[in-house]
Structures are given as structure tokens and as C-alpha cells.
Structure 1
Amino acid sequence: MLHLFDMLSAKLLPIANKIGSQRHLQAIRNGLISILPLTIVGSFFTILLNLPVSGYSDFIAPYLSALDVPFRFTVGLMSVYAAYTIGAYLASSYKLDKVTGGILAMLATLLMIVPVNIAKGTDVTGKAVEAGRYIPLTPLGSQGLFGAIIASLVAVEVYRFCKVHKLEIKMPNGVPPVVGESFAALLPTLLVVLLFWIPRHFFNININAFLTTLISPLKGFLTGNNLLGGIVTQFFICLFWIMGIHGHAVMGPIIRPFWDQAILENAELFQNGMSAFKLPNMFTEQFFQWYAQMGGTGATLALVVLFLFSKSQYLKQLGRLSILPGIFNINEPIIFGAPIVMNPILAIPFVLVPIVNTIIIYVVTAIGWMPRMMMKPPFSIPAPIGALLTTNWNWFACLMVFVCFAVSLAIYYPFFRAFEKTQIAQEGSLEDQAIETK
């Protein structure tokens, strides 16, 4: 088994390193992570608007439009924020001015939106608005996320092309750097405007719609309702961890844009009145966090609990040190402390448990007993609370967390016992050596 891990590591490690260090994927990953505060705060406003308290909806009805604003200006404008952060990170990786990179990326994203002419209307407070051109919010939410990603990458590459080929306006040496950068960005800005404005507004080429059609099969496989997609995702994340490679760091740049779009789409539809049971995307990141990965990748919280009652002094102590981080879904102490990395005994349940939990929750959700996820709380929230929040306070969903935990304990137990025996034998051997030395 160890030979197999060594062979897999030798084959996959170079690929994983290339994926993890590829600058465009890094920019996407870092950019999306940077806007997490907006997503989390916006998600909590979703909860505020949907508290399961008798009479609450009638109470907030007069203020509903105003209370909806924080959600619309956080989650509802996610594509704009993502465009800026992705552009800034990519520009920084090229040692270009990151503010200029972010602005150009945001500009490219906005140029793909067609303004709406409104002759008469009202704002959220009920006041009349003047006739004019307005930017619709919908294309700037989850629907436009992939378009924003592509626009950001292209815009910064245009900026870099101009820098490399010195297609810029040079200012005298005495000019402040900020002013110099502004003038240097004039030509890249013009090129970005022409590149995104002409196709969309003269030839009606909808880049967002084209990208949505192009990636919809992959999105449906990874984050829709395809069980095989959920299993494949869990398998590879766990496999990389077993080989000592951060599974989410490798898989994140590939799958995180799909995860983010899926949960944002669910949140927007739920906010617009769709039942949580009818939301389109089952396999969001939150689905895996609260059920398949309780305590972190591999659902190691169950293993930590078993360690607490171990006859091995080392495993018991490791369990005590790992239990608090594990409750908050941080499991590096046990992954590297047990270790699970390159461990032929614990590697099997580490991969198997998340897959089994994924299948259980998939079945329960597919038959309509449990709603889909509709918000994005912090990953560090303990699983039962996270399940409650993300399913609009559904207690059956919370109960299923404990079902999955019991299943995790049952699967881990025989492997834990086998590993415990080897650990106790090693501890006994060390004690004998210590006695002989004395």
C-alpha cells in the first residue's frame, strides 16, 4: 500500500504543483477567497429575511424592499467584486499595478452588461425615479461570475501586453508614480473598452450567455445534482491530502468558481421566493462541509472522538489536542499528527467516509426529505449549526448531521482499532528500549 502511495505521489505531485502554482488559477482562487466577507454577510441577511417565526414575514413586509438591499449589494454584485480582486491578484503576479489591474477587470465586466431604459418606476422606498438608463443587478450576481472571471483575465493580459511591448504613455521622471501609472494605463483602458464594448453593444454577442452554455455540462456534473460528480470531487480532494498535498488548494482553483456560482444562484432564487426544496444546485461546497467533511476533509471529527478514548497514550493526547479545532472544521493537527498522510490504514476510511456520507445525503435530498443549501456561512461553524443555517432552519437537515457522524464513527472504528494496535505496540517497544537503556 505504501508503495502504491509513493507511486501515485510521484505521478500526481508534479501535476498538483503545476495546478496549484498556475498564476491564472491562483488569481481566481485568491480573488474569490478575498470576497468571502461579502458573501458571508450577504448570506446572513438572507437568514434575517427568512426567520421561521410565526408572523415574522408579516412584520417585516413593509420593510422587505429595504432589508433586501444589503443582500443585493453583496451577493447580488458578486461578479463586480470578483472581477476587481481577480484582476488585482493577476496584475500583482505580473508585478503590474494591482489597482489598475482590478479597475480594468471591473471595467471589462461592466461593459458586458446592457443598460436598461426605464421611462418610469420607483425605488425600494417607493419614491419615483427619473427616466434614464440603469444597470440591471441580475447579470452582476451569480449569473455573470464566469463571465467576470474570463473578462478579468483577458483585461489584465491586455494590460500586460501593453506593458511588455511598451505601448504606453511615458511621463517625465519627476511625475509622482500614481500619476505615471494612470497615464500608462490609458492605452490598455482604451483597448479593453473596445474589446468588450464593440462585440456586446454592436454585434449583440452575449459573452455571459455563451460561457454559461459552454460550461453548463461541467457545472451540472460538479455542482448540480449528479451523484457521480459529488463522489469524484470528494475522492480527489481526499486523495491529494493522503499524499500530503492540500486537496482544496489543488482542486479549489478548478471547482471553487462552480461552487460559488452554485450557492449564489441558490441564494438568489431563494431570496426571490423559491422554496429551498426546489433550488437547482445540490452539490454546493456547503453540502460537503456540513455532511461529507464534518471536522474537515475526510470527516475526521469522528476519528478525533475515537482517539479520545484510545488506549494509546499518544492517540489519546492527539485527540485532546485535535477536538477543539475539529469541532470548528480544522483538521490539520490530526491529518499530520496521526498521521493520515501516507497512512495505509487510515487512508481507506479517510476516502470512504466522505463518499458514503455524500451518497446518504444525496438520497435523502433527492427524495425530498431535506432542502438544498441556500446560504454561505463561514466554514468554521460547527456542522449542526451550519446545516441549520444553510437549509433555512430545517431540523431534519440538522438531524442528518448526527446520522452522518454515526456512520462516520462506524466506518472509522475498525480501522482505528487496527491503527491503535500498531501504535500501542510501538509505544510498548519504545518503553522497553527506554528500560534497557537505563
Structure 2
Amino acid sequence: MNKFMEMLEKFLMPVADKLNNNRYLTALRDGFMVALPLIIFGSIFVVIANLPFLDRLIGEEAFGTYQGALSSASNATLTIMGLFVIIGIGYKLTQSYEGEAIYGGVAALAAFLILTPQVLEGVEGVIPTTSLGAQGMFVGIFTAFLAAELYQYFTRKGFTIKMPEGVPSAVARSFSALIPMTFTLTTFLVVRIIFDITRFESVQDFIYTVVQAPLTALGAGLPATIVAVLLIQLFWFFGLHGQIIVNSVFDPIWYALANENLLAFQDGEALPHIVSKQFIDSFIVGMGGSGMTLAVIIGIFIIGKSRQMKELGKLGAPAGIFNVNEPIIFGLPIIMNPLVLIPWLLAPVVVAIFTYFTMAAGIVPAPTGVIVPWTTPMILNGALATNSWQGGVLQAINLFIVLIIWWPFLRIMDKQFYETERKH
């Protein structure tokens, strides 16, 4: 066991360190955080607009009017979430270079709009909202990275207009950004013209065909999901925030899948994906935090005889209800504790597989794409994510599965703590 742990530590620590300190992954993660309040706002109104059985209570016509009145909330946020992510990434990446962050953000947005076809069903000057949401997400991410880098490059090279002293600082900064912004956006205009004469006709079609579609298909599958879940658990075991590290890589895929589900849900169509952002957040993380440690807390209350276990349960329970599990991770502890490595790795994988096949069989609906705040307590979390009571029941079953897996290991730990306390 010790040799195995040493091997894992030798392999994982350098990888995690590089991921944590990677400028682009950090900007990607923080860019999504900029958009998160808007995404949650839109999600709340999607839930309100699609309350179960409301159509039967007020009638189809009244229900349609009701949904239409609330649709602007999601259309202005969730449907075009890519725009907010792009601004956030451009802003955060430019900020990491200690540049004028706001200009990096707007340069990224303008560059993306230059690349985006502005034709819808033969009508010029209209941007399809699909290009601003899931389908345009990957183009937006790459564009934001490149636009912010180009803007910073031209700024560092001194291609700026320096205003004389006495000019208001806001005016001076605006003129200073003029030439770098012009060079950056001209570069994207040239790229747009080049793609116009290729068989793809646009950068969006090229990226979607060559990059996004294959990656989305991979991320939507169970094998990639299991790998992601395992990595989250392994990083946490070595004291690294596995959720942040893994999400930095997988979030673009999971959000794109969630957005496709949301569009289908709003149109009353079958949901195309089981795995999405909310599959992970509600049914893997949303049950006490990473590792679903709310089950561990319940096990501690049932099994615990040692004073240490009892106090840990009291300390961890209030936070665990709202999916904050640092008291358990650092108090049990889970970090670098060989006694918990097996249940820590095994339980989330078993739950992921069970949840996937339960949804694939149609017993429980897949997540609708609505983003539920991560602090929402379980049961309610699962019901909101799937727009069904079955989602809450599935979370309860998952919690029981985790408790069964952890049971013998908790008994061993409690016995050790109890014997140590008796000796002292």
C-alpha cells in the first residue's frame, strides 16, 4: 500500500501542480465563475417556468402565456451563456498579465462576434443564438484565449498611443488600447475571410466538426466520466482541490452538454445526454461535497463510539448538509489516510455507474440542464436538477450505497480511535 501511494504521489503531485498553476486553465475556471451568477439566475426561472403539473392546473393556453412571460430570463442568460464566459476568460487572462483587464474582455467578445456568422435562414445581420450558447462555446474559449494573448502582445510591444499629461486617465487608457485592439480584431477579421472561402464556411463549423463534437461525445460517455470522478478523488486524497483541477478541463464539455439538454427540455424534446454538469454536481458532488461525505457523517452518527468520531460528526453535519465537506476531509482525515483510500475512490465510481444506468433505463429522468446552486441540500438538489421527484429519491438511494461501502471502514477507524482513547 505504501509503495502504491508513493507511486501515485510521485505521478499526481507534479501534474496537479502544473494544472493548478496553468494560466489558461485558471482563466478558464475563473471565466466560468464570472458567468455563474447569470447561469444560476436563468436556471432558477427555467425551474419556475416548468413547474410540474402546472399546465394541468391552469390549462395549456395559460401555461404557454406564463412560460412566454418568463422566457426572457433564460434567453438573456442561459441561452447566450457563451458570451459571458468569453468576456470572463478574456478579462481574467489579461488580468493575469497585469494588463487592462476590461479591454481584454471586450477584445475577446468582439473577436468572437467577428468570427460568428451573422446570417439566420437567409436574413443578414442576425446572429443565431445557438452560436452564442453550447455550439459556440469551444470557439468562444479558443477565441478568448487568442484575443487576450494578441491584445497583450501588441500592448507589450509598445503599439500604443501615449496621451500627454493632464488627459483624464479613462481617456488615456482608451487611446492606449486603440492600436492593440485594432491589430487584434483585424487578425480575427482576416481569419474570418479565410474561412469564408473554405468548405467549412466558418470557424464555428470547423471547430464544431473537428474539435467540439468529438470531445463532447467523449465527455458524454460513462468511461470519461469515471476517469474524471477518479481524478477528483485522487487529487483530494493528496490534499489538492480535485474539483477545481478536474473542472478546469471538463467544465466546457459538461456545460455544453447541459446547455443542449436545456434547449431540448425547453422545447419539450427528449434530453440528448445523461452526463452533464448537473449529473456531476448533483449526483456525485451534491451529496455532502466531493466523495459524497454526507453518508460518512450519517455513518459516524450511527457507528461512532469514540469521542473523536462523535465530535467530528457534530462538527461536519451542519456544513455537510450544504455540501461543504472540509471538516470531514481534514478532520477524519481523508487526506493521505490509507484506511479510507478504497471507499474514497470506490463509492463515487459505483454511484456514477448506478446513476448513469438508472437514467439510461428511464427510471429517473436525466438532468434537464438547469444549473442548481451547489449549496442546495440533497433531495431538493436532485429534484430540481431533474425536474422530478425521482431525482431526489435517486440521491437518497445513492447516499445509502455510499454508506454501505464506507460502513466497514468507519467501524475499523472508530474502533482504533476508541481503543486509543481508552488507553489515555
1:55 aligns with 2:96: no
- Cα pair 1:32 1:86 within 8 Å, conserved: yes
Match of 2:207 among 186, 207, 211: 211
Match of 1:108 among 111, 118, 142: 111
In 2: Cα distance, 1:14 partner to 1:117 partner:
48
Alignment size in residue pairs: 413
1:350 aligns with 2:340: no
After TM superposition, the structure 1 = structure 2 runs for residues 68-147 of structure 1, keeping only pairs within 5 Å, are 68-116=71-119, 133-147=125-139
- Cα pair 2:237 2:335 within 8 Å, conserved: yes
- 1:210 maps to a residue whose letter is F
In 2: Cα distance, 1:287 partner to 1:172 partner:
56
After TM superposition, the structure 1 = structure 2 runs for residues 331-342 of structure 1, keeping only pairs within 5 Å, are 331-342=325-336
- Cα pair 2:216 2:253 within 8 Å, conserved: yes
- Cα pair 2:301 2:313 within 8 Å, conserved: yes
Alignment correspondent of 1:363: 357
- 2:231 maps to a residue whose letter is F
1:25 aligns with 2:7: no
1:372 aligns with 2:366: yes
Equivalent position SS for 1:174? coil
- Cα pair 2:365 2:390 within 8 Å, conserved: no
Task: Report the RMSD for the aligned CA atoms in angstroms.
Answer: 1.9
In 2: Cα distance, 1:216 partner to 1:20 partner:
27
Answer with 238-247 or 174-183: which moved more: 174-183
Match of 2:184 among 192, 202, 214: 192
CA shift, 1:33, in A, is 1.3
Answer with 134-143 or 149-158: which moved more: 134-143
- 2:267 maps to a residue whose letter is N
- Cα pair 1:262 1:281 within 8 Å, conserved: yes
Distance 1:273 1:102, change over 3 A: same
- 1:10 maps to a residue whose letter is K
- Cα pair 1:299 1:350 within 8 Å, conserved: no
- 1:86 maps to a residue whose letter is I
Equivalent position SS for 1:197? helix
In structure 2, stretches of 5+ residues that fail to align are none
Match of 1:264 among 259, 268, 274: 259
In 2: Cα distance, 1:136 partner to 1:256 partner:
23
Alignment correspondent of 1:246: 241
Counting aligned pairs with the same residue, the percent is 35
Alignment correspondent of 1:220: 217
Alignment correspondent of 2:290: 297
1:407 aligns with 2:410: no
- Cα pair 1:290 1:386 within 8 Å, conserved: yes
After TM superposition, the structure 1 = structure 2 runs for residues 160-199 of structure 1, keeping only pairs within 5 Å, are 160-199=152-191
Alignment correspondent of 1:312: 306
In 2: Cα distance, 1:417 partner to 1:188 partner:
64
In 2: Cα distance, 1:280 partner to 1:118 partner:
24
- Cα pair 2:50 2:67 within 8 Å, conserved: no
Distance 1:60 1:417, change over 3 A: same
**How far does the alpha carbon of each residue in 1:247-303 deviate from its partner, in whole angstroms, 9 at most, with x for none?**
0122121111112111122112211221xxx31221123212332332111111111
CA shift, 1:5, in A, is 2.2
Match of 1:326 among 313, 320, 329: 320
Distance 1:420 1:111, change over 3 A: same
Equivalent position SS for 2:159? coil
In 1: Cα distance, 2:114 partner to 2:72 partner:
23
Equivalent position SS for 2:125? strand
In 2: Cα distance, 1:62 partner to 1:417 partner:
57
CA shift, 1:189, in A, is 1.9
Answer with 174-183 or 83-92: which moved more: 174-183
CA shift, 1:313, in A, is 0.6
In 2: Cα distance, 1:330 partner to 1:250 partner:
17
- Cα pair 1:290 1:384 within 8 Å, conserved: no
Equivalent position SS for 1:70? helix
- 1:297 maps to a residue whose letter is S
- Cα pair 1:2 1:343 within 8 Å, conserved: no
- 2:80 maps to a residue whose letter is L
Alignment correspondent of 1:37: 37
**How far does the alpha carbon of each residue in 1:324-355 deviate from its partner, in whole angstroms, 9 at most, with x for none?**
11111111110010101111111210110111
Equivalent position SS for 1:16? helix
In 2: Cα distance, 1:422 partner to 1:289 partner:
34
Distance 1:305 1:117, change over 3 A: closer
In 2: Cα distance, 1:250 partner to 1:324 partner:
26
In 2: Cα distance, 1:190 partner to 1:319 partner:
59
* Superposition TM-score, scaled by structure 1 size: 0.90
CA shift, 1:59, in A, is 1.7
In 2: Cα distance, 1:206 partner to 1:118 partner:
16
- 2:38 maps to a residue whose letter is L
